[in-house]
Amino acid sequence: MSRFALACSCAFAFGLAPAGAQTAPSPAPAAAAVAPSPEAVKIAAAMAKVNSFRMQMSSRNGMAGTVTVVVPAKRTKALVAMGPMTSEVVMADGRMYVRMNGGDWRVNDSLSGNFADQALKQLSDPAKFHMLPDRVENGTTVGVYEIPPPMPPGAAPSTTATPITCTYDKTTYLPRSCTLQTMTQTFEGWNDPANVVEVPVVASPAPAASASPHP
C-alpha cells in the first residue's frame, strides 16, 4: 500500500483541515458505484510500487517544510518551519517523536496510526479519484485529478471538505504536485536511496536529587 496518502494527510496534522471542513445540513444520497477509470488504476498501481519519496510543502501563510517517507520501514519524518519556529516530527515503530527549535526529543505512542491507515486506504483507492482534463505546466502536459481529503478523527458523517487537486506524470503516473487549500505539496526523490528516516535518540530524564541527611 502506498504511503503517498500519508504525506498528503500531513497537511491535516498541521491544522489545515478544520479551516476547510464544513458540516452539511444532511448527508448526501449515496451515489451509485462507478468503476474507476484506467488512468486512476494506473496512478494507484504506480504509487503502490513506491518504496520512498520526499514531499516539499509550502503555504501562503509562510509555512514550509519537507516530509520524507520510507515505506518498508513505515517511517515518516516532517521538518516544518514557520517564522522563527521549527518543528520536527518522526513517526516510527508505532511511536511519535517531536521536538521544537532543535531542543530535546519527546516521545509518545503515535495517536495518528488509525487516521493514517484510513487515509492510506481512502487515498490509494482509484475509485475515489475524480479525473480532470490534462493541462500544460511549463510546456509539459500533465494529468490532473481530485481526491477527497481524509477527515479528522471524530468528524461527522455529513462533514465535507475541499478536495485535494493533484497533477501526475503522464509517463510514470506518479504525482507531481498536490494543492490543498492554501498549501502546495511537490513530490520528488521517488525511490531515492538517500531517503532515510532515523529514529531519534531520546535523552534520559535526569535522576532525582537525593535528600540531604539531617545533621
What confidence score (pLDDT) does residue 203 get?
A: 73
What is the residue whose three cell numbers read 520528488?
188
For residue 147, the 8-state DSSP code is E
What confidence score (pLDDT) does residue 183 get?
A: 87
139 lies in which domain range?
A: 4-21+36-188
Residue 117 has pLDDT above 60, yes or no: no
Residue 194: inside a domain, yes or no?
Answer: no
Please report, rounded to a whole number, the percentage of residues in the chain having pLDDT higher than 90: 39
Cβ atoms within 10 Å, residue 134: 13
Phi, psi of 118 (to 5 degrees): -65, -40
Residue 28: inside a domain, yes or no?
Answer: no
Compute the distance between CA of residue 62 and CA of residue 89 in angstroms, rounded to an integer. Answer: 19
Residue 124: inside a domain, yes or no?
Answer: yes
Average pLDDT, the chain: 78
Region at 154 (left for phi over 0; alpha for psi -120 to 50; beta for the rest): left
Residue 195: inside a domain, yes or no?
Answer: no
42-57 pLDDT, tens digit each: 998 998 888 898 999 9
> pTM here?
0.75
Residue 30: inside a domain, yes or no?
Answer: no
Phi, psi of 78 (to 5 degrees): -125, 130
For residue 164, the 8-state DSSP code is E
Give the number of domains in the chain.
1
Identify the CATH number of the domain in which residue 17 sits.
2.50.20.20
Binning pLDDT at 50, 70 and 90, where does residue 73 land? Answer: confident
Give the gyration radius of the chain's Cα atoms. 20
Compute the distance between CA of residue 147 and CA of residue 125 in angstroms, rounded to an integer. Answer: 9
| Region 140-164 average pLDDT | 81
What confidence score (pLDDT) does residue 48 get?
A: 86
What confidence score (pLDDT) does residue 61 get?
A: 85
178-214 pLDDT, tens digit each: 998 888 989 999 999 999 999 998 876 655 555 555 5
Residue 119 has pLDDT above 80, yes or no: no
Residue 141: inside a domain, yes or no?
Answer: yes
Please report, rounded to a whole number, the percentage of residues in the chain having pLDDT higher than 70: 69
Residue 183: inside a domain, yes or no?
Answer: yes
What confidence score (pLDDT) does residue 209 get?
A: 57
| Region 118-137 average pLDDT | 80
159-174 pLDDT, tens digit each: 777 888 999 999 999 9
Residue 204: inside a domain, yes or no?
Answer: no
